[in-house]
Amino acid sequence: MNGKVIVITGALGALGKVVAEQALARGARVAGIDHAASSVAATADRIELGGVDLTDAAQARSAIDKAAAHFGRLDALINIAGGFTFESVADGEPATWQRMYAMNVMTALNASLAAIPHLSSTGAGRIINIGALGALQAAAGMGPYAASKAGVHRLTEALAAELKGKVTVNAVLPSIIDTAANRAAMPKADVSKWVTPKELADVILFLASDAAGAVTGALLPVNGRV
């Protein structure tokens, strides 16, 4: 990945930080975009753009364009920004479904639309989305989240078909990711069966690499050791 320019949304989160670190370790240059504020100074290899609301198309476009201007090109977009909620359908609120759709589908859509002109110009651009294994069959309490991630799956497939020959578009579908937040929420779970951020990062960065040039429209389960 030496010299490739990779944009990572949700770059300051538990998974985003690991993906960014692994990409830099492999020689890539990284632009991190996040809703949280960042005070990290830009360097030749890294820039962080904080305070960006990716549910707003104009803010997404501005951030992506700044990343492209800083590095002179974009090679890959990794859409990690998103959210989770656990809420039953009968006892929940319609606003929750709208919020999950905005956080998971619209962030990926807005970032992708902003990045496509830059990625298409290389002839070998990459988009990698984060879906969810739990969106293949929603369990109780998972309706709003699973529906939104199912939207990410369909977005991935549609973009892959539309951009074939210019940009590959794939998604990874993790099970439960081993993060501090998930451990706190599920203290009795067997975390040895969860997928680690590093393991997930390896799959994501493979899809962003030249070696994955023949893979597009794939929804790849990353389900740990279940």
Give the catalytic positions in this structure: 145
Q: What DSSP assignment string belongs to the chain?
A: -TT-EEEEETTTSHHHHHHHHHHHHTT-EEEEE-SS---PPP-SSEEEE-S--TTSHHHHHHHHHHHHHHHS---EEEE---------TTTS-HHHHHHHIIIIIIHHHHHHHHHHHHHHTTSSEEEEEE--GGGSSPPTT-HHHHHHHHHHHHHHHHHHHHTTTTEEEEEEEESSB--HHHHHH-TTS-GGGSBPHHHHHHHHHHHTSGGGTT--S-EEEE-TT-
**How far apart are the C-alpha atoms of 26 and 23, rounded to whole Å?**
5
Closest by CA position to 152, among listed 122, 128, 126, 123: 128
Q: What DSSP assignment string belongs to 88-133?
A: -TTTS-HHHHHHHIIIIIIHHHHHHHHHHHHHHTTSSEEEEEE--G
